[in-house]
Amino acid sequence: MTATTDGSTGAVTPRAASASHSIDTPAATAPTAGTREAAALAIQRSTDFLLSRQDAEGWWKGDLETNVTMDAEDLLLRQFLGIGDERTTRAAALFIRGEQREDGTWATFFGGPGELSTTIEAYVALRLAGDLPDAPHMARAAEWIRDRGGIAESRVFTRIWLALFGWWSWDDLPELPPELIYFPPWVPLNIYDFGCWARQTIVPLTVVSAKRPVRPAPFALDELHVDARVPRPPKPLAPATSWDGLFERLDKALHVYHKVAPRRLRGAAMNSAARWIIERQENDGCWGGIQPPAVYSIIALHLLGYDLEHPVLKAGLASLDRFAVWREDGARMIEACQSPVWDTCLATIALADAGLPADHPQLVRAADWMLGEEIVRPGDWAVRKPRLAPGGWAFEFHNDNYPDIDDTAEVALALRRVAHPDQARVDNAIARGMRWTLGMQSKNGAWAAFDADNTSPFPNRLPFCDFGEVIDPPSADVTGHVVEMLAVEGRSHDPRTRRGIEWLLAEQEDNGAWFGRWGVNYLYGTGSVVPALITAGLPASHAAIRRAVRWVESVQNDDGGWGEDLRSYRDRGWVGHGTSTASQTAWALLALLSAGERDAPSVERGIAWLAATQRPDGSWDEPYFTGTGFPWDFSINYHLYRQVFPLTALGRYVNGEPFPAGSAHAGKGS
């Protein structure tokens, strides 16, 4: 294993990681005259592999792997509600044990360092499953936890779960009052100041925070405290003149308010929160298509008197089972969410780039399914944009409240690659999606994932919010995808597109790269932006494009591939460095190919690496996490990334770019 920094494996430098090859794959061959032929063979194998995995309804979905907190919290929820069963517990424990490392810890991404809160939650889940504290694997975990300060040093969300069973005091947690639901959108710290994923989680947690429930704990957790007999001394407050000091004192005031809150006001606020939650339940019973809000919403509604047979809770609990992936060994992994729309549009683009005919039945079926997933009603985004007509697409099977701009752009690009028999239907859906996307442009000219101008500085200051991103500012990768879509739709010269381009040019790093918000990291950002700028009409000779090309070539690994470790989000030394992966190699190649570097030695070496590391069945191995939910804090391994992006890069190498720079393809299958 390379690129780990925990004490059990020793430190590996970015340079050393960059020089290594992907796990269990052969070293890439040197460029030869047969690179094009090798690429063509790889395309055929990959195309066959991808086509064989399409669902009969037309969609693709790869597993979305995160970390064991999803599995641990699922078991904790079942314990809290009293609905645990032996089969589920055994299968979850099997998966959690399988993810433990030799030093007793659990990480948040493959090859990453042990993470305290994740390790605590995994340990508690295994205890619920019957693992004894003196078992060797449990003892190693507990010792590691104590060495890092124990439960007291874990994040707020972990301590909330422990408080539910009396393993932590509610008095020692930040306060989150349900009266927040009454703040109008113009008041700082109203719920719409939070990103949609945080908003969906915070509203139910205000109810939990107000109720402060405690279920009898089935065992003690003294072994996870540094010294359970000695109370933890309070941390000194930050200076009152600082933002941190202000919010720390606000939290103290809210703790006092908790004791004196008017009963009628508090009860009304909790009921308003319940209505808000129920109104946002999706047709399949989930909330926003993601697991954490569903978990907290079920707990909140149950605390307010909704029994487990109530239709809302019954549907919510049933939806949680759909996040479970059962493996052949009997283990059960929980997905944080599911990505069928995203996977399907990317697969469609990849197959079209690979040379599949635009009227191929499987592409038409994919387009039919995507058209059926269009969102035609307002969601939370309409609070800030009340006059904007709905349109666009979400990420998941069911998520009508939170369409996202990234999916909308990529779905539009995918639909343009298909010769659909009902072209008017395609044109109208894309037109609605494009109109909605243009309406969601932020004031600075860029685009975020879910909301416009969701950039308040206050939510991140709350003591409660010590984990992950809780706001949704614009990002280069999303803006790049939007600019590319607008260019393909003939809007390259639209003033709104030009503002997006200007923002992207201003956001380029000194080294020539762009930051990747939703993928790891600068390779993803650069692989998203360069094709967009070229499609929008920037010449390959433009200074920004040349800087990007030089940076991409400068971080190519010795084996011919590219890789970037998640540590690049915290340590500049890792920027552009890491073990070669199929998806990240493809992102680098997409940037170079769009910039006209098809005959460059770096491209030949990258294509040769992809061809040489492909498995006989047409797939690639990629244990590394190259997606992000929150940079660094919550990482994702999209199991289809290793398939769709290499096929896209190989296809563009052999068949050329899909759209000539600056030209419109509205209404044309290509």
pLDDT band with cut points at 50, 70 and 90 for residue 249: confident
Q: Classify 480 in phi/psi space as left (phi over 0), alpha (psi -120 to 50) or beta.
A: alpha
pLDDT in tens, 356-397: 999 999 999 999 999 999 999 999 999 999 999 999 999 999
Domain final position from 297, 314, 334: 334
Amino acid 23: pLDDT: 39
Amino acid 239: pLDDT: 85
Domain final position from 315, 334, 353: 334
Residues 218 and 172 in one domain: yes
Amino acid 24: pLDDT: 43
Q: Which residue has the tokens 């314990």?
A: 79
Amino acid 10: pLDDT: 39
Amino acid 8: pLDDT: 38
Domain region containing 384: 14-62+339-455+474-655
A 10 A CB-CB count for 642 gives: 24
pLDDT band with cut points at 50, 70 and 90 for residue 2: very low
Residues 85 and 49 in one domain: no
Query: Does the pLDDT at position 25 exceed 50?
Result: no
In a domain, 641, yes or no: yes
**Lowest mean pLDDT, pick from 236-245, 448-457, 523-532:** 236-245
Amino acid 107: pLDDT: 97
Amino acid 228: pLDDT: 56
**% the chain with pLDDT above 90:** 84
Query: Does the pLDDT at position 18 exceed 60?
Result: no
Residues 147 and 51 in one domain: no
Residues 552 and 564 in one domain: yes
pLDDT in tens, 498-526: 999 999 999 999 999 999 999 999 999 99
Query: Does the pLDDT at position 26 exceed 50?
Result: no
Residues 523 and 500 in one domain: yes
Query: Does the pLDDT at position 19 exceed 90?
Result: no
> What CATH number is attached to the domain comprising 221?
1.50.10.20
Buried b (16+ CB within 10 A) or exposed e, 474-497: bbbbbbbbbbbbbbbbebbeeebb
In a domain, 329, yes or no: yes
Helix (H, G, I), strand (E, B) or coil at 263: helix
Residues 493 and 583 in one domain: yes
pLDDT, the chain, mean = 91
Answer for the pair 14, 578: CB distance below 8 angstroms, yes or no: yes
Give the span between the Cα atoms of 586 and 345, in whole angstroms: 17
Amino acid 14: pLDDT: 66
pLDDT in tens, 165-174: 999 999 999 9
In a domain, 663, yes or no: no
C-alpha distance from residue 365 to each of 44, 81, 368, 385, 624 (Å):
20, 41, 5, 33, 31
Residues 111 and 181 in one domain: yes
How many domains are there within the chain? 2
Give the span between the Cα atoms of 435 and 426, in whole angstroms: 14
Query: Does the pLDDT at position 79 exceed 80?
Result: yes
Residues 272 and 382 in one domain: no
Residues 313 and 345 in one domain: no
Answer for the pair 327, 317: CB distance below 8 angstroms, yes or no: no
Give the span between the Cα atoms of 189 and 247, in whole angstroms: 11
In a domain, 460, yes or no: no
Within 8 A by CB and 6+ apart from 583, the residues are: 622, 626, 638, 641, 642, 645, 646
Amino acid 22: pLDDT: 39
**Lowest mean pLDDT, pick from 42-51, 253-262, 333-342, 404-413:** 253-262
Domain final position from 313, 334, 355: 334
CA 154 to chain centre: 22
Residues 57 and 125 in one domain: no
Query: Does the pLDDT at position 640 exceed 70?
Result: yes
pLDDT in tens, 56-73: 999 999 999 999 999 999
pLDDT in tens, 255-305: 898 899 999 999 999 999 999 999 999 999 999 999 989 999 999 999 999
Amino acid 243: pLDDT: 78
**Lowest mean pLDDT, pick from 202-206, 227-231, 329-333, 434-438:** 227-231
Tokens of 553: 């070539």
Tokens of 134: 């003196």
Residues 57 and 79 in one domain: no
In a domain, 378, yes or no: yes
Q: What are phi and psi of 638, to 5 degrees?
A: -80, 115
Catalytic residues: 406
In a domain, 524, yes or no: yes
Span 467-494, average pLDDT = 95
In a domain, 165, yes or no: yes
Residues 143 and 119 in one domain: yes
Amino acid 21: pLDDT: 40
Answer for the pair 499, 487: CB distance below 8 angstroms, yes or no: no
